[in-house]
């Protein structure tokens, strides 16, 4: 069933949007900064995050590598997204604004 779903997602061109959604969900879960997050988007391996608190942004800056690893681990454990990580990329950097 997983292969059928992956094939459908691929044929319909939904992979990029699905991975974007999953990365943003993982950010909220992993960072613990969901309540301070104003906007987030994922493109070309970079997760762009706008935060409402400069203190939280500063704290998260020093945890970037750990957060990146946890987001990528979360994506690889998802039953749908692992096949699309190579196509659309994994999180390589987080840009905090």
> What pLDDT shows up at residue 96?
96
By C-alpha distance, which of 19, 34, 35 is closest to 82? 19
> What pLDDT shows up at residue 92?
92
Tokens of 92: 């390589």
How confident is the prediction along the chain (97 residues), in pLDDT tens digits per residue? 667 777 777 777 777 788 888 899 999 999 999 999 999 999 888 999 999 999 999 999 999 999 999 998 888 887 665 555 554 558 999 999 9
On the CB side of 70, CA atoms within 13 Å amount to: 15
> What pLDDT shows up at residue 95?
96
> What pLDDT shows up at residue 80?
66
Residue appearing with tokens 């750990």? 66
CB 67 within 8 A of CB 73: no
Cα 28 from Cα 74, distance rounded (Å) = 12
CB 23 within 8 A of CB 78: no
CB 30 within 8 A of CB 74: yes
> What pLDDT shows up at residue 44?
86
How deeply is 89 buried, as exposed, middle or buried, from its count of CB atoms within 10 A (0-12, 13-18, 19+)? middle
> What pLDDT shows up at residue 17?
80
């Amino acid at each position: 069933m997983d292969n059928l779903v992956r094939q459908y997602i691929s044929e319909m061109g939904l992979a990029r949007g699905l991975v974007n959604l999953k990365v943003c969900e993982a950010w909220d879960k992993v960072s613990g900064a969901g309540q301070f997050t104003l906007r987030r988007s994922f493109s070309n391996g970079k997760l762009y995050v706008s935060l409402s608190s400069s203190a939280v942004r500063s704290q998260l800056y020093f945890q970037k590598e750990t957060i990146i690893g946890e987001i990528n681990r979360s994506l690889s454990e998802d039953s749908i997204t692992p096949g699309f990580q190579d196509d659309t990329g994994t999180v390589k950097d987080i840009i905090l604004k």
